[in-house]
């Protein structure tokens, strides 16, 4: 059982409390007008403001924990990371050989929307938002530095595969109370593919 039950319970409580506050204000305002003819009562107004502040903090806090909380992917107490490495297999199109096929987005001549590559066991296509093709000396480009790559293992794979391999990283939220409050426990946090090829001419664009 995951801690997500706590998040669902807190979300339910926050929404029920907000509805109760709205109902409370409506009923007491109608009673105030019916009994006194006045629309403003300082004591009631103070209660309304207090209840609304609590409701907004509760709902806002749950919204932040569920949708806006930033996660450090290198923090092993919050996430667990699994990285699979595999040598790339050459693909062919006529007399043209390549390791990676870059697929342009519809209507664009320059932007690559996805990459396709092959290993010994499968062919995979990944979004360019979550993948980088590396050809230079640095195995970890700037847009992938937020992930906890094992530099030593990357170097080993690079040497063993003649500079043609893929590192597929999957990041999953751990089953903790904090993650459960945000309904994230045991759910995917991110994934990223680092695709290494020896030279840029082994990336074919289409």
Which residues neighbour 147 within 8 Å (Cβ) at sequence distance 6 or greater? 73, 74, 81, 169, 171, 190, 192
Q: Which residue has the higher pLDDT, 95 or 80?
A: 80
Nearest Cα to Cα of residue 196 among 126, 103, 99 = 99
pLDDT tens for each residue of 191-202: 999 999 999 999
Which residues neighbour 176 within 8 Å (Cβ) at sequence distance 6 or greater? 3, 77, 78, 185
Give the residues across from 132 on adjacent strands.
194
Element (H, E) at 186: none
The packing angle between helices 42-63 and 4-36, to 10°, is 160
Model pLDDT, residue 118: 97
Model pLDDT, residue 107: 67
Listed by start position, the domains of the chain span 4-68, 79-205
Which range has the worst mean pLDDT, 37-41, 97-101, 117-121? 37-41
pLDDT tens for each residue of 97-118: 999 999 988 766 668 999 999 9
Cβ-contact 185, 176 below 8 angstroms: yes
Model pLDDT, residue 105: 81
State if pTM tops 0.85.
Answer: yes
């Amino acid at each position: 059982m995951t801690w997500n039950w706590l998040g669902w319970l807190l979300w339910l409580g926050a929404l029920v409390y907000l509805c109760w506050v709205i109902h409370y204000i409506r009923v007491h305002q109608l009673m105030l007008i019916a009994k006194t003819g006045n629309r403003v009562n300082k004591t009631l107004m103070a209660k309304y403001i207090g209840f609304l502040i609590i409701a907004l903090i509760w709902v806002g806090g749950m919204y932040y924990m569920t949708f806006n909380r930033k996660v450090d992917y290198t923090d092993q107490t919050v996430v667990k990371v699994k990285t699979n490495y595999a040598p790339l297999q050459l693909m062919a199109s006529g007399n043209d050989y390549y390791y990676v096929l870059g697929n342009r987005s519809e209507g664009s001549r320059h932007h690559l929307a996805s990459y396709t590559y092959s290993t010994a066991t499968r062919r995979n296509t990944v979004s360019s938002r979550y993948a980088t093709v590396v050809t230079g000396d640095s195995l970890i480009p700037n847009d992938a530095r937020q992930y906890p790559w094992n530099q030593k293992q990357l170097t080993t794979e690079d040497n063993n595969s003649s500079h043609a391999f893929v590192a597929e990283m999957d990041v999953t939220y751990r089953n903790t109370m904090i993650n459960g409050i945000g309904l994230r426990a045991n759910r995917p946090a991110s994934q990223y593919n680092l695709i290494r090829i020896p030279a840029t001419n082994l990336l074919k664009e289409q």
